[in-house]
Structure 1
Amino acid sequence: MPKSKVRKKTVYTPPGADRKTPVKVKGPTHPVYIAVMLGLMLLGLVWLVVQYLAVDLIPWMSQLGPLNFLIGFSLIVIGLLMTMKWR
């Protein structure tokens, strides 16, 4: 009886191994970006603290009413969203 042919298996190459172009790695974030990010978070915190402690002393702030919470938390959230692009 004749012997059957043995099949050769192809060598496994992981996906992307044949890729010749290097991946561009971004450098660290600019210091101004970090300062703005931290500044927005601190400004939001200060806004909320001032709203609680001195809302009666600042007439235009008392006119805003519940919008003070929206302004303070919005500043904090914008700062936190900026942390996603921080390297």
Structure 2
Amino acid sequence: MARAKLRTPTPADDLRTGADAPNPVWFKPVMFGFMLLGLAWIIVFYVSQGTLPIPDLQSWNILIGFGIAFVGFLMTTRWR
């Protein structure tokens, strides 16, 4: 009997499943949206001299803006 020859997989055989799958269409706009929203939050806070976006939070508005932008930057680690 002849032995079955094992074939090594080629890049063409890659079905892009699991971690190698490309991101959905909405991923990039949401990622950049978070980064821009965080930047806009901080700019509005500085331009309004602390009266906007949420006056009761005072300087915590800066942390909120950086937090929103940080979510966008974290999303860049998953961008394919």
TM-score by length of 2: 0.69
Determine which of 17, 32, 36 is the counterpart of 1:38: 32
> How many residues align structurally?
68
Sequence identity (%):
36
Q: Distance in 1 between matches of 2:58 and 2:31?
A: 26
Matches within 5 A, 1:68-87: 68-87=61-80
1:64 match: 57
Secondary structure of residue in 1 paired with 2:54: helix
TM-score by length of 1: 0.64
Gaps of 5+ in 2: 1-5
In terms of Rg, which structure is larger?
1
Bigger mean CA deviation after superposition, 44-53 or 60-69: 60-69
CA RMSD of aligned residues (A): 2.3
Deviations along 1:46-87, whole A, 9 cap, x unmatched? 00000000133x4x6221112101100001111000001100
Q: Which has the higher helix share?
A: 2
Matched, 1:49 2:43: yes
Secondary structure of residue in 1 paired with 2:55: helix
2:3 match: none
